[in-house]
């Protein structure tokens, strides 16, 4: 007789995996004609677009991430400590909010074009936001902090002896940087890149507003533009298969490239003060990047919010949307932590094959981009419990499948740090396992569990595709409102909910980063 | 810890009653832009005292949703900007037939389903908006002309997701065949380059600024733009007129009462309000669409509909044409 814990974990894992299995099933059993149509009309273009977008974003991310991290870890100048914090803030802007501010900034006859024309002549034009360049720009500005953060910590814990050895044997600064420093931080760069690419490939918000055709967006389009979901399921299957290959690739890559400090001296780099002119140059660069990724969009949002508030557009309905978002996100976060507890326990304390199966099963949501998760839940519910369709429960399930992995990851690592000795001591003194859990384990891990709760809460507040596709009548969330208004180009109306989401997200991003640093 | 649990429990309980919609509300599934339909619904709510709840989404997605919800659907009426979608809903038996003499007396037969399960509310024609400084309207006789090489880099077009484009292509396919439609789309794609817009409004604005010379749009976006900027150098051009011409593409927005509505009388009240002179006036004056109630005149600045030759493809045929049209559009690779 298996323990109740395993049974519970098993039920959870199966519930979380079922949606994916249903998508795979409906794609595999699809009419070959549908596959034929997709292969000839859509798939090559989608592959090309998704890959080129990821590569474009990757190149910009690397350039920005490395240069910013290098400047801020190797030099000190006035304000260099503050930038450390400021450069994380772009992570608090959802991709669709950044995209919609850029559709305004980059539009023909828009502010940026005017500024550009005063420099480059009246005939000069900017690229359209609805293009490859536009999508690359928006997503790169949205994700470069991932690469920056990892490059930064790599540069901080870097042994300068290697560089000094290179310099003493005659290499100049540039050669040293490219031949010694960069290769040494390669593992963290690759980790940051993988994170950014996964984010780009699964992004729905930005590409849908910029109408750049990627797999994730195409799934949504097939779901909303066609009278059956088979084609959407087929595209989903391809996307999920790629995600699996990608994740295994990353794991393999990480295992191959590890660098160790074997012997000898280890010295951390000390930042050097720099000359006023260089400091000015650096500050200018930092202001430019920060302004583009955070400052300018947020200023616009504030301005629009003020206009729309004074025009009386903030109605009682708006607070209804706020309440919808907050209550649903809170509920999902609570559910995620509750479901996470047995799974995290299995992962840390019962390393059997059954336990591993449950935990890995729960992580399936990682490879499901928002529209695919929504599609999966939709298909599953309509086949099994159609009564639930159109209720809040369906949306809750989609959120859970999508965000439980993020919660689980944090909870697992918290529980891992807690030695089983304490629990064993409690058990040996006669407490039952539940009592032990509530009186010994839980008080010790609540900090980690709380941050998992907050993480899921914020993710849900920002969630767009599943909310769009599965929301019940009268249950628009803030994210849905932003998207609906922004896709009509009603900038002012979209601003108040967008600003609110950014404001709620900022402290969370800072909190998570602070934890990361200590 | 206890505080945390307490907080979570309070949170969960508080959120329970706010879920979902009020039971007595009339639920409207709408595929139209909220901006174009909300004022009319507000007027209905004010006049009748019936509480209206709206869910806005893509028309096709709404049909999928209705189908999946079956008899549990909360929806009472379906409003879309495309008669083809409504006809599709009728074929799927999602809408209920009605024998309302009022409706039959008000809306002409060609703007209704044969069994009145959907009723047209407002008409729109697919015309070319051109810049009056840059284009001589006599140079264009057919919408197909826009695919010609002389328009390279001079037109803006709607995105593949546009229902108007889909309807237009359906009508061209019905009138001239798939090959002509495919060649037309290839030309449009080539000529427009990156100037593909999601909204008709953007095309009209681009033409008014002189960035492009012309583009295919629904007529009322031109009139709405002119109402705000009377001096804009733009004008509508109905194409394909004359004996040989196929006529302009006409589509209708419309409404249908769902088969499984639980508020039949209220739903019918909404239908009657929307076809009444008061409701129709709003479509005419605010939206600049053609009211389908013949007793209500269109806005004076519009081209009179009776002077325009309209393509001879019944609205109800748009439903069957739709799916193959999507495939044609995808094959050409329009975005």
Q: CA-to-CA distance for A133 and A358, rounded, in angstroms?
A: 42
- In angstroms, the Cα distances linking B73 to A469, B2, B29, B94, B266 are 15, 41, 10, 10, 16
Give domain status of residue A282, yes or no: yes
The mean per-residue pLDDT over the stretch A131-137 comes to 91
Q: Would you state the pLDDT for residue A518?
A: 42
Radius of gyration of chain A (CA): 25
Q: What is the pLDDT of residues A237-296, one digit of tens each?
A: 998 888 888 878 877 777 776 666 555 667 777 888 888 889 999 999 999 999 999 999
Pick B15's closest partner by Cβ from A40, A331, A469. A331
Q: Are residues A371 and A289 in the same domain?
A: no
Contact A232, B60 (CB under 8 A): no
Whether A342 maps to a domain, the answer reads: yes
Q: What is the percentage of chain A residues whose pLDDT exceeds 70?
A: 97
Residues 168-197 of chain B with CB under 8 A from chain A are 194-197
Residue B127, pLDDT above cutoff 50: yes
Q: Does pLDDT of B232 surpass 80?
A: yes
Question: How much is the average pLDDT of A358-381?
Answer: 83
| A266 within a domain of the structure (yes/no) | no
Mean pLDDT, all residues of chain A: 86
More confident residue, B30 or A271: B30
Question: Of B21, B60, B196, which is closest to A474 when you measure between CB atoms?
Answer: B21
Please judge whether A473 and B331 are an interchain contact, meaning their C-beta atoms are less than 8 angstroms apart. no
* Contact: B74, A390; criterion CB under 8 Å: yes
Cα–Cα distances in angstroms (integers) from residue A427 to residues A301, A434, A439, B229, in the given order? 55, 10, 11, 79
> Which among B4, B35, B68 has the least Cβ separation from residue A382?
B68
Rounded mean pLDDT of B293-300? 88
A282 and A223 co-located in one domain: yes
pLDDT band, very low/low/confident/very high, at B12 (cuts 50, 70, 90): low
Question: pLDDT tens across A292-323, in order?
Answer: 999 999 999 999 999 998 988 788 888 889 99
Q: Do B68 and A386 touch (CB under 8 A)?
A: yes
Q: Do A330 and B15 touch (CB under 8 A)?
A: yes
A387 and A438 in a single domain? The answer is: yes
Residue A143 inside a domain? The answer is yes
Q: Is a pLDDT exceeding 90 seen at residue B26?
A: yes
Judge if A306 and A317 occupy the same domain: no
- Rounded to a whole number of angstroms, the distance from the CA of B8 to the nearest CA of chain A is 7
A4 in the same domain as A92? no
* A120 has pLDDT over 80: no
Residue A137 lies in a domain: yes
Torsion-angle region of residue A110: left (phi > 0), alpha (psi -120 to 50) or beta? Answer: beta
| pLDDT band for position B45 (cuts 50, 70, 90) | very high
Task: Please check whether residues A345 and A375 belong to one and the same domain.
Answer: yes
pLDDT at B200: 87
For residues A348 and A291, membership in a common domain is answered with no
CATH of the domain at A426: 1.10.3720.10
What is the separation, in whole angstroms, between the first and last Cα of chain A? 44
Distance from CA of A225 to the nearest CA of B (A): 6
Under the banding of pLDDT at 50, 70 and 90, the label for residue B253 is: very high
Q: What percent of chain A has pLDDT over 90?
A: 26
Mean pLDDT of A491-511: 90
For residues A370 and A443, membership in a common domain is answered with yes
pLDDT beyond 60 at A1: no
How many domains would you assign to chain A? 2
Q: Where does the pLDDT of residue B18 fall: very low under 50, low under 70, confident under 90, or very high at 90 and above?
A: very low
- What mean pLDDT is reported for chain B? 87
Contacts of B326 in chain A (CB under 8 A): 225-226
pLDDT digits (tens, 9 = 90+) for B161-216: 788 888 999 999 998 889 999 999 999 999 988 788 878 888 998 899 888 999 99
Tell me which residues of chain B, numbers 13 to 52, contact chain A at a CB-CB cutoff of 8 Å. 14-15, 18-22, 25, 27, 33-35
pLDDT at residue B78 above 90? yes
Residue B157 main-chain phi, psi, to 5 deg: -130, 160
Q: Is residue A495 part of a domain?
A: no
Domain of A111, in residue numbers: 32-258+271-310
pLDDT digits (tens, 9 = 90+) for A458-482: 989 999 999 998 988 888 999 999 9
Q: Name every residue whose Cβ is closer than 8 Å to that of residue B20 and which is 6 or more positions away in sequence.
A: A391, A392, A472, A473, A474, A475
Domain boundary among A310, A340, A371: A310
Q: Is B4 on the interface with A (CB under 8 A)?
A: yes
pLDDT band (50, 70, 90) for residue A115: confident
Domain for residue A496, yes or no? no
Residues A170 and A210 in one domain: yes
- ipTM of this complex prediction, to 2 decimal places: 0.81
Answer yes or no: do A351 and A392 share one domain. Answer: yes
Q: Which of A77-91, A306-320, A391-405, B255-269 has the highest mean pLDDT?
A: B255-269
> Quick check: B57 contacting A, CB < 8 Å?
yes
* Mean pLDDT computed over B307-323: 85
pLDDT of residue B17: 45
A239: in domain: yes
Distance CA A513, CA B283 (A): 53
Write down all domains in chain B, each with its CATH number in brackets: 24-123+251-303 (3.40.190.10), 125-249+320-332 (3.40.190.10)
Residues A116 and A179 in one domain: yes
Q: How many whole angstroms separate alpha carbon A448 and alpha carbon A446?
A: 5
Q: Identify the closest residue of chain B to A334 by CA–CA distance.
A: B8
> Alpha-carbon distance A339 to A347, whole Å?
13
Based on the fold, state whether residues A48 and A10 are members of the same structural domain: no
**Residue B21: is its pLDDT beyond 60?**
no
- Mean local confidence (pLDDT), B75-99: 91
8 Å CB contact of B65 and A221: no
B289 has a pLDDT exceeding 80: yes
């Amino acid at each position: 007789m298996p323990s109740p814990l395993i049974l519970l974990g098993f039920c959870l894992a199966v519930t979380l995996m079922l949606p994916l299995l249903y998508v795979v099933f409906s794609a595999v059993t699809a009419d070959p004609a549908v596959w034929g149509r997709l292969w000839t009309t859509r798939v090559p273009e989608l592959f090309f677009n998704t890959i080129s977008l990821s590569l474009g974003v990757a190149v910009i991310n690397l350039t920005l991430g490395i240069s910013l991290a290098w400047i801020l870890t190797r030099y000190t100048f006035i304000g260099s400590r503050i930038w450390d914090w400021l450069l994380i803030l772009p992570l608090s802007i959802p991709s669709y909010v950044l995209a919609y501010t850029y559709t305004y900034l980059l539009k023909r006859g828009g502010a940026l074009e005017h500024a550009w024309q005063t420099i480059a002549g009246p005939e000069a034009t900017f690229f359209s936001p609805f293009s490859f360049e536009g999508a690359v720009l928006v997503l790169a500005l949205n994700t470069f902090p991932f690469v920056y953060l990892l490059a930064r910590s790599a540069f901080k814990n870097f042994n300068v002896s290697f560089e000094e050895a290179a310099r003493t044997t005659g290499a100049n600064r540039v050669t040293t940087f490219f031949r010694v420093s960069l290769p040494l931080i390669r593992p963290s760069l690759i980790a940051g890149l993988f994170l950014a690419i996964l984010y780009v490939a699964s992004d729905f918000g930005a590409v849908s507003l910029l109408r750049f055709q990627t797999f994730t967006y195409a799934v949504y389009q097939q779901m909303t533009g066609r009278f059956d979901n088979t084609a959407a399921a087929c595209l989903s299957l391809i996307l999920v298969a790629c995600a699996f290959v990608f994740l295994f690739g990353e794991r393999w890559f990480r295992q191959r490239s590890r660098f160790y400090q074997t012997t000898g001296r280890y010295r951390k780099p000390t930042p050097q003060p720099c000359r006023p002119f260089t400091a000015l140059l650096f500050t200018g660069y930092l202001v430019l990047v920060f302004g583009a990724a955070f400052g300018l969009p947020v200023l616009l949002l504030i301005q629009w919010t003020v206009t729309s508030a004074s025009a009386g557009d903030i109605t009682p309905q708006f607070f209804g949307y706020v309440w919808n978002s907050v209550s649903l996100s809170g509920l999902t976060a609570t559910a995620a932590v509750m479901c996470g507890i047995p799974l995290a326990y299995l992962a840390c304390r019962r390393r059997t094959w059954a336990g591993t199966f449950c935990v890995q099963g729960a992580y399936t949501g990682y490879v499901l981009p928002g529209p695919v998760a929504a599609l999966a839940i939709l298909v599953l519910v309509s086949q099994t419990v159609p009564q639930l369709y159109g209720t809040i429960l369906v949306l809750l399930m989609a959120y859970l499948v999508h965000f439980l992995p993020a919660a689980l990851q944090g909870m697992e690592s918290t529980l891992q740090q807690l030695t089983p000795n304490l629990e064993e001591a409690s058990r040996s003194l006669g407490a039952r396992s539940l009592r032990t859990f509530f009186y010994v384990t839980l008080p010790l891990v609540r900090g980690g569990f709380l941050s998992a709760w907050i993480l899921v809460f914020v993710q849900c507040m920002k969630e767009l595709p599943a909310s769009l596709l599965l929301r019940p009548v009268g249950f628009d969330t803030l994210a849905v409102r932003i998207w609906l208004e922004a896709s009509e180009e009603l900038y002012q109306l979209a601003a108040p909910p967008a600003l609110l989401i950014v404001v709620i997200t900022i402290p969370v991003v800072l909190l998570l980063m602070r934890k990361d640093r200590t | 810890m206890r505080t945390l649990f307490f907080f979570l429990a309070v949170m969960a309980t508080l959120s329970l009653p706010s879920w979902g919609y009020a039971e007595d509300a009339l639920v409207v599934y709408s595929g139209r832009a909220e901006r174009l339909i909300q004022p009319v619904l507000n007027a209905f709510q004010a006049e009748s005292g019936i509480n209206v709840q709206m869910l806005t989404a893509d028309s096709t997605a709404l049909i999928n949703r209705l189908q999946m919800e079956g008899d549990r659907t909360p929806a009472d009426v379906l409003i879309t900007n495309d008669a083809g979608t409504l006809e599709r809903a009728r074929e799927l038996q999602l809408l209920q037939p009605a024998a309302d003499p009022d409706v039959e007396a008000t809306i002409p037969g060609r703007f209704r389903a044969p069994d009145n399960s959907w009723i047209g509310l407002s008409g729109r024609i697919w015309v070319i908006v051109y810049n009056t400084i840059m284009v001589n309207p006599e140079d264009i006789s057919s919408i197909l002309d826009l695919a010609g090489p002389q328009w390279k880099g001079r037109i803006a077009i709607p995105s593949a997701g546009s229902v108007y484009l889909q309807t237009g292509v359906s009508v061209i396919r019905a009138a001239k065949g798939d090959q002509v439609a495919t060649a037309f789309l290839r030309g449009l794609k080539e000529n427009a380059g990156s100037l593909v817009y999601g909204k008709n409004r953007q095309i009209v604005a681009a033409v008014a600024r002189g960035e492009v010379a012309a583009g295919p749009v629904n007529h009322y976006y031109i009139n709405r733009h002119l109402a705000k900027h009377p001096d804009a150098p733009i004008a509508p051009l109905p194409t394909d007129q004359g004996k040989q011409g196929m006529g302009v593409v006409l589509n209708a927005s419309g409404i249908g009462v769902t088969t499984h509505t639980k508020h039949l009388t209220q739903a019918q009240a909404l239908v009657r309000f929307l076809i009444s002179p008061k409701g129709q006036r709003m479509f005419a004056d605010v939206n600049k669409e053609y009211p389908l109630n013949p007793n209500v005149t269109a806005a004076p600045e519009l081209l009179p509909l009776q002077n325009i030759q309209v393509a001879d493809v019944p609205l109800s045929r748009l439903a069957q044409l739709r799916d193959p049209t999507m495939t044609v559009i995808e094959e050409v690779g329009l975005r």
